[in-house]
Amino acid sequence: MEVFLAATTEEVYHSRMPSDQQAPATKQDIQQFVEHIQRLIADMEQRLTKESEETRRHFDVVAENLHYDFKGALNDKIQNHENRIVHLEEHVGLAA
């Protein structure tokens, strides 16, 4: 079994076809070409699946980082408000 994944479709076509450009394609020529295209499609599907998995992992990491960044920022803001409220209560004599 030959592997054509590195070759272009045109290279495969010319390597399989006789030098006579008018010669009709045989069923074997067509079958080999179809098999080559099927391998190219399978390879493309594998690469697409791999890329989508990597993209999903990256997205999950970014989303998790944003979650903790926002959570930390909101906790800091809440603590800042608590400090201001305590300061105001002490200033007006309403110590809690």
- DSSP for 21-32, please give it: TTSPPPHHHHHH
Q: What is the pLDDT of residue 36?
A: 97
Q: What is the pLDDT of residue 1?
A: 42
The candidate with the shortest Cα–Cα distance to 39, out of 6, 12, 11, 5, is 5
Q: What is the pLDDT of residue 57?
A: 96
* Rounded mean pLDDT, 37-49: 98
* Rounded mean pLDDT, 45-68: 96
CA trace torsion 30, 42, 44, 7 (10° rounding)? -40
Write down how long the chain is. Answer: 96
Q: What is the pTM of this model?
A: 0.50
Q: Which of the pair, 60 or 73, is modelled with greater confidence?
A: 60
Give the Cα separation of 43 and 48 in Å (integer): 9
